[in-house]
Structure 1
Amino acid sequence: MVISQRAEPTLLTDQVYDMIHAAILSGDLPAGSRLKVRDLAEQVGTSVMPVREAIRRLEETGLAERQPHKGAVVKNLTFEELIHVYDVRRLLETEAARLGAEKVTAEDCNRMQAEYDLMRKAIDEGQAVALLDHDEAMLAILYQAAANPVLLQVIRTLWQQCRAYKIVGAQGSLDAAEDDSLWRYQQDLLTAARNNDPAAAAAVNEASLRNASERIKTRLAEQKAI
């Protein structure tokens, strides 16, 4: 029997994917950045094959897309698309908070508290990416308590799709010293979790994501007025 294709170097491809993925989530590769195969291969020290495969995976997860005359680029959501993403996030994360608050343990809450404390430290230091990392880690602990891995995976995918906007939005809020929305909702969510109060947890997430959606709609209106 003749095998016409060579086996993919899966481990190497995974490593390259992780590197590019991390650069996108950190903002080092912002939305709209071209993903040039040869340039990336040179940067990560591999051949072009694992880079091509990594980019294909990024396209499948919605973090990259093909554009005419540019090739693959980091996906840039429009404000209209962001509104849709946040509407879906609100539905899913309100339910995830409700389910998680029913089952979250005292140990889970202590882990949430640790992430919250690190998030507040990142706010004090003006570190937008670290702020988002600890915020998402805190939320993930609560959502994991819901014991629905599919729900958490879908939410994580939505987080990644709007990460570029979240970085910009977080930095804008950090620059506005009087803005307490970066920590107020998380503080209330932690209280609801410690009280095993599903209704309160759901209400906090509903309010938080509605607030985020309204900010996006305001930006959209401003853009259209220009």
Structure 2
Amino acid sequence: MKAAPAPTQQDSTYLRLRQWVTVGRFLPGERLKIHAIALQLGAGVMPVRAALQRLAAEGALVNVPHSGMLVPRLSAAEFHDVLSVRLLLEGEAAERGAHRIDSAGVAELDALAQRMGEALAAGDADAYLDANEAFHLRLYQAAASPTLMALIETVWLKVGPLSNRLFEAQGASAVLNDAHGDMVQALQRKDSAGVRRAVEKDLFVAAQFLRPFCTG
């Protein structure tokens, strides 16, 4: 069997920047500076430029003449549309994943939920968002549906930059991790419908804190 080709620097740069957009490392309205990003990544300017152009083609960034690449802002209507799609896609992935995940996977999710709680207590937004992404990826990937996962990751690009605003919302840190604990408990009971409800609760609660940061 022929081995898969090793990823190029352009590929790895794109994947890293895509992940940064997903977890909110860039804020809505932020202008991305190619040389600064290249320095952060330890990558060349050309791979960074190509990765940003690829992300713009996916709708994750906007190429504005004479301004460069900007992180788009979501209107309230766009945010509502994205939330509706997320509830459908992520609810389905969570319920399917609950049927297939093993005890080791549930233990991994439990550990990630604890890590999120520690990050919230420490006020570490980046650690929380990284652990949150890992938690949802682990559960949804257990569904074993590459098509469903690809759709979810595409939608995440739309809302990722807004997610960092969670930590500006009063009272958010006190409740953001509640639904993850509910998910773990439902998984331990083998209650797939309960897992779906907990994911929907997680998305809905976060949305209440994020909606005021939308435009319009």
Q: Which TM-score band (shorter chain)?
A: 0.7 to 0.9
- Does 1:172 find its partner at 2:168? yes
Counterpart residue number, 2:76: 79
User: Per-residue deviation at 1:95?
Assistant: 0.9
Q: Which has the higher contact order (CA 8 A, sep 6+)?
A: 2
Question: 1:4 aligns to what?
Answer: none
1:50 corresponds in structure 2 to 47
Q: Rg larger in 1 or in 2?
A: 1
Q: Find the partner of 1:204 among 181, 186, 198.
A: 198
Alignment RMSD: 2.8
Code of the aligned partner of 1:176: G
* SS of structure 1 residue aligned to 2:8: helix
Tell me the TM-score normalized by structure 2.
Answer: 0.82
How far the C-alpha of 1:134 sits from its partner, in A, is 0.8
Q: Is the 8 A contact 1:32 1:73 kept in 2?
A: yes
In the alignment of these two chains, the number of paired residues is: 210
- Does the 8 Å contact 2:100/2:142 carry over to 1? yes
Cα distance between partner residues in 1 of 2:94 and 2:104: 17
SS of the equivalent of 1:76 reads coil
**Corresponding position of 1:67:** 64
Task: Name which of structure 1's ranges 104-113 and 132-141 shifts more when overlaid on structure 2.
Answer: 132-141
**Structure 1 residue 46: deviation in Å?**
6.1
Conserved? CA contact 2:25–2:164, under 8 Å: no
Which residue in 1 is equivalent to 2:116? 119
Q: CA deviation at 1:60?
A: 2.5
Structure 2: gaps (5+ residues) = 1-6
Which of 149, 165, 168 is 2:146 aligned to? 149
State the identity %.
31
Gaps of 5+ in 1: 1-9
Residue 166 of structure 1 aligns to which amino acid in structure 2?
A: S
Name the SS for the 1:147 alignment partner: coil
Does residue 14 (structure 1) correspond to residue 11 (structure 2)? The answer is: yes
